[in-house]
Amino acid sequence: MVHALTAVVTFYKRDRAEEILLARYSDIKGLPYQAPSAPTANGSVFSNNEIFAATNRLSTLQVAKSALWKEPLKVQYARASASSPAFSTDFPHRTGPGTAASSLSTTPESGASPSFLSR
């Protein structure tokens, strides 16, 4: 029973991926897309709304991945900051706040500001 259910889910996912691909191709060509009114050979049935939502999500994810790939990595948590006292205790080989290494100026006027501060 479990094997049969796994096969049904696999067929459904494959059929859905094909419909998403067809919908995206139709969009690129400027053609209207209509989900098939009859079930696929595997018995999958889709609505236009389901395919449009899945297509939109997939396209948005691909654009996001592409945009993030081009961006430099950023540290977003205060605990990971080199000026955080916790950072110094977690990594004793690093210098803490108030030392010569941490008192370097990184203001925009010094020209040494991190790129994420200048955005």
Read off the pLDDT band of 75 (50, 70, 90).
Answer: low
Cβ atoms 102, 95 nearer than 8 A: yes
* Stronger pLDDT, 92 or 64, i.e. the higher one: 64
Residue with structure tokens 């790129």? 115
The mean pLDDT value for 28-52 works out to 91
* All residues at 6 or more sequence positions from 15 whose CB lies less than 8 Å from its CB, including other chains: 40, 42, 44, 46
CA angle 93, 94, 100 (to 5 degrees): 125
Between 15 and 7, residue with greater pLDDT: 15
pTM: 0.53
The predicted structure's pLDDT at residue 78: 54
pLDDT band of 105, cuts 50, 70, 90: very low
Residue 5, pLDDT score: 72
pLDDT at residue number 21: 94
**Terminal C-alpha separation, the chain:** 56
Token representation of residue 91: 């990594």
pLDDT at 68: 84
Phi, psi dihedral angles at 19 (to 5 degrees): -65, -40
Average pLDDT over every residue of 41-56: 91
Alpha helix positions (H), 30-111: 48-70, 85-90
For residues 33 and 11, what is the distance between their CA atoms, to the nearest angstrom?
A: 21
pLDDT of 50 reads 93
Cβ pair 75, 81 in contact under 8 A: yes
Residue 40: pLDDT over 70: yes
